[in-house]
Amino acid sequence: MIKIKTEKEIELMAEAGQILAKVMKQVSLMVKPGITTKELDETAEALILSYGAKSSFKGHEGFPATLCTSVNEELVHCIPSDRKLKEGDIISLDGGAHYKGYHSDMAITLPVGKVSPEVQRLIWVTRKALKRGIKKTRPGVTFGDIGNTIQRYIESQGYGVVRDLCGHGIGENLHEEPEVANYGKRRSGDVVKEGMVFCIEPMVAIGDYNIKRARDGYGYQTKDGSLSAHFEHTIAVIKQGVKVLTEIQGGLS
CA distance 123 to 114: 13
Is 247 known as a binding-site position? Answer: no
Q: Spell out the residues 6+ positions from residue 160 whose beta carbon is closer than 8 angstroms to its own.
A: 154, 204, 205, 206, 207, 208, 209, 226
Return the beta strands (E) in 90-232 as ranges.
90-99, 102-111, 160-161, 167-169, 176-180, 197-200, 203-205, 211-213, 220-222, 228-230
Is 103 known as a binding-site position? Answer: no
The amino acid that residue 175 corresponds to is H
CA distance 231 to 145: 19
CA distance 166 to 162: 8
Q: Spell out the residues 6+ positions from residue 49 whose beta carbon is closer than 8 angstroms to its own.
A: none
| Cα separations in angstroms, 10 against 34, 60, 188, 247 | 39, 22, 26, 14
CB-CB contact of 169 with 197 (8 Å): yes
CB-CB contact of 87 with 112 (8 Å): yes
Positions at the binding site for a divalent metal cation: 94, 105, 168, 201, 232
Positions at the binding site: 77, 94, 105, 168, 175, 201, 232
Positions at the binding site for substrate: 77, 175
